[in-house]
Structure 1
Amino acid sequence: MPDAADKGSSFPSFRASPLRDKVIGEVHARPFRSMSSPRVVLHYAFLTNASEAADDKAWLIEFCTSRGEPVPTDGAKHHTIAFGGGMLNWEQHAEFTTYTWDAPAAEGKLFGELIHNHPFGAMFRAPGDMLVAARFEAHPNPGEDVWRRHFDSGSLTVSRIEGGAAAVATDFRQDGDGLTRFLVINDEMGNHQIGAAVKRLLEIETYRTLAMLGLFEAARLQPEIRRFETELADLTSQMVEDAGLDTNRDLLNKFTKLAAALEAGATASTFRFGASRAYHQIVQARFNTLQEEAAPGELSMAGFLGRRLSPAMQTCQSIEDRQAMLSRKLARATTLLRTRVDVDLEQQNRSLLQSMNRRARMQLRLQQTVEGLSIAAVSYYVVGLLSYLAKGASDAGLPIPSGSITTAIAVPIVIAVMWATMHRIRKVYSKETKAD
């Protein structure tokens, strides 16, 4: 084995796991980018399935190629290129794709500047249905009387972040362009801190919107679950009655269909509810990372969103709990009814066996009667043959009693022989039957 030092290293090389590069690279995926202020950020998130995501990546490769920019590598889930004096960032997630563009903003112009050099014009192709659209601006403190007029005072939230190094104002409402406005008022943050804060605010806006999708799935399922509960109560009440086997079988069939429909709905909603919980946890984690707290006399973002987001998550959890409870009740009722059907079947089988036993006994008696008649008939013919032999022998001069005497003597002997023969045959047959 060659010395590892000959290859320029004092350490040996080992066979690496095929996942090593991915695991190490994941730590550096979607990094924070330094941003100076003033800065404007446009952020869009689109719901995409697997096919739409593949088409979108193909379009992005073509877009980058046409502009002479580097294209995303195979398997890449994020990519950044220069565009319009700023940077366009693309990220692909499990069920959505985001495009985020940031560029320098005009000094002192809050949300009033018309942006003409952004990438979301006629040349842009949306990969799917848009769910999130937001405009972030980071500025040095322009004065409270300047920025408040850009927001709805009825839903305005103002929070301090990063230990009071900056403030964030938003009203979570759409402006005339359909964008939710966020203003980051930078007091003491450095460029890297601004980039990290904006990135986390982007994630909060994206994930809080995605988390709310579970609420509408819950609203869609609620009437159906209520119908299942009513139907289950009705079917369970029918079980109290002492019904026959056919009725119980019909009830069991209804229970099975109800359980199948319930499981189909629960399976279809499992991903949505699970994703909503995960998104909600991400939102809470981002708020904690930002060290977000309400500015004096103001409502915080977490407090404002918590009034609707937390009840929405509780509603989703309630629907899941009702589905699980219904499933357990259906399982118990189905098991109970199946037991009743099995008992009815056993009772029916027992009655059938008893009937078969009665028929077998009757058949045995009939067989014994026929056997008795058969013995008498065979004995009669044998005795008749013997009487002919005795008569013929007597006529031939042999010293044999007369035919009537011989016949009388032969009758009990023949009957005994016939009975013994039939008994022996029946005994042999019984042994063969038991052996089978």
Structure 2
Amino acid sequence: MTAEVTIEGGGRLIPHDLRAAILNEVHARPFTPLASPARVLHFAFDTSNGRGKTDRAALADFCARRELAPLKPDAKHHRVTVGGATLRWEQHSEFTTYTWELPSKPGAPFQPEASSLAGPMSALPQPGPLLVALDVHLIEPKRKTIAVEQLFDRASLAAAENSDGAALFATDFKPDPGGFVRILILNRDLDDDRAGALVQRIIEVETYRTLALLGLPEAQRLAPSIGRIEQRLAEVTEEMRATAQLVDNHRLLDELTALAAELEAGAAASLFRFGASRAYYDIVQLRLHTVGERKIGSLPTWTSFLARRMAPAMRTCTATADRQANLSQKLARAANLLRTRVDVELEQQNRDLLRSMNDRTRLQLRLQTTVEGLSVAAISYYVVGLFGYVAKGAHEEGLPVNVTFATALFVPVAALTIWWVIRRIRRKHMTGAD
């Protein structure tokens, strides 16, 4: 499908880079007509963590070796005919589906066993862990009703008609001895197009139901850890009320940090799973709403059955995600409170330390002043002594100099001069001058 738009005069409008992909997405997975009777085997595999690329390469090689229609590099779905069966391949964000449409003859439902019909699947390498295996049997009953209770476990049987009563679909959501979940669809008055659409929607309901429930084991795995963190947080906050020592506050802060790290690690690991479960659950409800169920006698519809069994699991996932978010906020508030207390105590210690440093500096200044006075006296003594030697030398050479008197007069001059020089040097050091 081209994304360019031509206008009168031969001009072309430049499309957005994603226009073609957006237009093609609506037609990515079209409904395919399905004639009754038919047997559909549907498999869904976990192809996350890079397994999707390997699966794509394996399918491309499968088609090339059998000279089938080639798989396009960017294709998300592919349909080929292998022998008497039709394979429909679809790749999603975290799983890949293989749907085999097999010819069927009128007869008893689910005969022969699905395991005996799944041979074509063995021609392909398994792309990842198996999530879904469905055996869907589309038949045209010779009479308007059929005893579905005899085909499924009555305790978990769910059955309904579509909106206009043209079809009936039933299952017990339990795997048979071969591991396939069986779904029976009675085609009362559906043409091939509507039958194909209904089969695909029913398959999607079971596929997305299984994928949605993947969040429940994750929630159950995280529940003990979240409960332990909640209990320890309550104990830590109680200890905070009675703790006044800085070392104790440091210990509690370290413990809160460790609890927060453990919680965030679990939340990060489960973020995608819980979000995907909510999205898949919404798709299940949307598909059931599109089918438009009508109740059959006393049997529960698929919507009511899944609401009773599946909705609690989804609420557990939602509640776990909410507990993680709320607990993260509580841990953050407790840690901020402790961090504030630690900062205040550190500021008080710093204030006391600065006060003691100020006292020591003042004492050092006094000692320096004392030493400075002693230094002036000592230097003056040596300078005056040198001057005395000069005066004696001049007297001995015959100059009229009174050595004692001259030395006495020089003492204040030398002391004042040395004091002034030392004071000037100290001022230069204190002002940062060279």
Unmatched runs of 5 consecutive residues or more in structure 2: 1-5
CA deviation after TM superposition for structure 1 residue 320, in Å: 0.8
Cα deviation code 1:246-287 (max 9, x no counterpart): 443333333222222221111111111111001000001101
User: Structure 1's 422 and 310: CA in aligned 2 closer, same or farther, altered over 3 A?
Assistant: same
Further displaced range: 85-94 or 315-324:
85-94
CA deviation after TM superposition for structure 1 residue 231, in Å: 2.7
Partner residue in 1 for 2:258: 257
Partner residue in 1 for 2:125: 125
* Conserved? CA contact 2:59–2:124, under 8 Å: no
Matched, 1:240 2:248: no
Q: Distance in 2 between matches of 1:48 and 1:149?
A: 36
Taking the TM superposition and a 5 Å limit, the aligned residue runs for 1:104-183 are 104-114=103-113, 118-120=118-120, 122-141=122-141, 142-183=143-184
CA deviation after TM superposition for structure 1 residue 297, in Å: 2.8
Partner residue in 1 for 2:286: 285
Partner residue in 2 for 1:3: none
Matched letter for residue 131 of structure 2 = L
CA deviation after TM superposition for structure 1 residue 80, in Å: 1.1
CA deviation after TM superposition for structure 1 residue 385, in Å: 4.6
Q: Distance in 1 between matches of 2:56 and 2:426?
A: 88
Partner residue in 2 for 1:422: 422
Taking the TM superposition and a 5 Å limit, the aligned residue runs for 1:84-123 are 84-114=83-113, 118-120=118-120, 122-123=122-123
Q: How many residues align?
A: 427
Further displaced range: 112-121 or 274-283:
112-121
Q: TM-score, normalised by structure 1?
A: 0.88
Partner residue in 2 for 1:25: 24
CA deviation after TM superposition for structure 1 residue 410, in Å: 4.3
Aligned-partner SS, 2:164: helix
Further displaced range: 88-97 or 60-69:
60-69
Cα deviation code 1:123-171 (max 9, x no counterpart): 3432222111111122234454544311112222221213322221211
Further displaced range: 201-210 or 250-259:
250-259
Partner residue in 1 for 2:61: 62
CA deviation after TM superposition for structure 1 residue 97, in Å: 1.3
Matched letter for residue 415 of structure 1 = A
CA deviation after TM superposition for structure 1 residue 114, in Å: 4.7
* Conserved? CA contact 2:7–2:13, under 8 Å: no
CA deviation after TM superposition for structure 1 residue 355, in Å: 2.2
CA deviation after TM superposition for structure 1 residue 195, in Å: 0.8
Partner residue in 2 for 1:73: 72
Partner residue in 1 for 2:320: 319
Aligned-partner SS, 1:381: helix
Identity rate of aligned residues, in percent?
47
Matched letter for residue 379 of structure 2 = V
Matched, 1:299 2:300: yes
Further displaced range: 238-247 or 225-234:
238-247
Partner residue in 2 for 1:362: 363
What's the C-alpha RMSD, in Å, of the aligned pairs?
2.7
CA deviation after TM superposition for structure 1 residue 336, in Å: 2.0
Cα deviation code 1:179-207 (max 9, x no counterpart): 21212222222221111111000000000
User: Structure 1's 377 and 209: CA in aligned 2 closer, same or farther, altered over 3 A?
Assistant: same
User: Structure 1's 386 and 13: CA in aligned 2 closer, same or farther, altered over 3 A?
Assistant: closer
* Conserved? CA contact 1:157–1:169, under 8 Å: yes
Q: Distance in 1 between matches of 2:87 and 2:392?
A: 131
Q: Distance in 2 between matches of 1:125 and 1:423?
A: 94
Matched, 1:188 2:189: yes
* Conserved? CA contact 1:32–1:192, under 8 Å: yes
Further displaced range: 47-56 or 208-217:
47-56
CA deviation after TM superposition for structure 1 residue 392, in Å: 6.3
Matched, 1:42 2:36: no
Q: TM-score, normalised by structure 2?
A: 0.89
User: Structure 1's 56 and 384: CA in aligned 2 closer, same or farther, altered over 3 A?
Assistant: closer
Q: Distance in 2 between matches of 1:97 and 1:389?
A: 110
Matched letter for residue 350 of structure 1 = R
Unmatched runs of 5 consecutive residues or more in structure 1: 1-6
Aligned-partner SS, 2:43: strand
Matched letter for residue 134 of structure 1 = L
User: Structure 1's 73 and 389: CA in aligned 2 closer, same or farther, altered over 3 A?
Assistant: closer
CA deviation after TM superposition for structure 1 residue 353, in Å: 2.0
Q: Distance in 1 between matches of 2:63 and 2:412?
A: 119
